[in-house]
Amino acid sequence: MNLNPGEEVTVAKLPSGKWGALLRLNGYDEPFNLGREFKTEEMTEGWLDTTEANNLIDQYITKYRKA
């Protein structure tokens, strides 16, 4: 995962009541929901340490980062 200054991955409670990871990229007003939902904040944070999460974040960066 190669984030530029000002870009970040955060954990937040979603409208569904579950927890999810959000990717904020420069040039976008709203963060991207990475599409996975978990029952607890801790489970979401644990998922962010997985290869699956890192690969997904890299895919979003490649697709949506503005040059």
The pLDDT score that the predictor gives to residue 67 is 62
Strand partners for 19: 13, 38
Q: Are the beta carbons of 61 and 2 closer than 8 angstroms?
A: yes
Per-residue model confidence as pLDDT tens for the chain (67 residues):
789 999 999 999 999 999 999 999 999 999 999 999 999 999 999 999 999 999 999 999 999 997 6
Distance CA 7, CA 25 (A): 5
Classify the C-alpha dihedral 3-32-6-9 as positive or negative. negative
Encoded amino acid at 7, one letter: E
pLDDT, residue 19, reads 98
pLDDT in the model for residue 66: 77
pTM of the model: 0.91
Sorted by where each begins, the domain ranges of the chain are 8-64
Tokens of 23: 């990717």
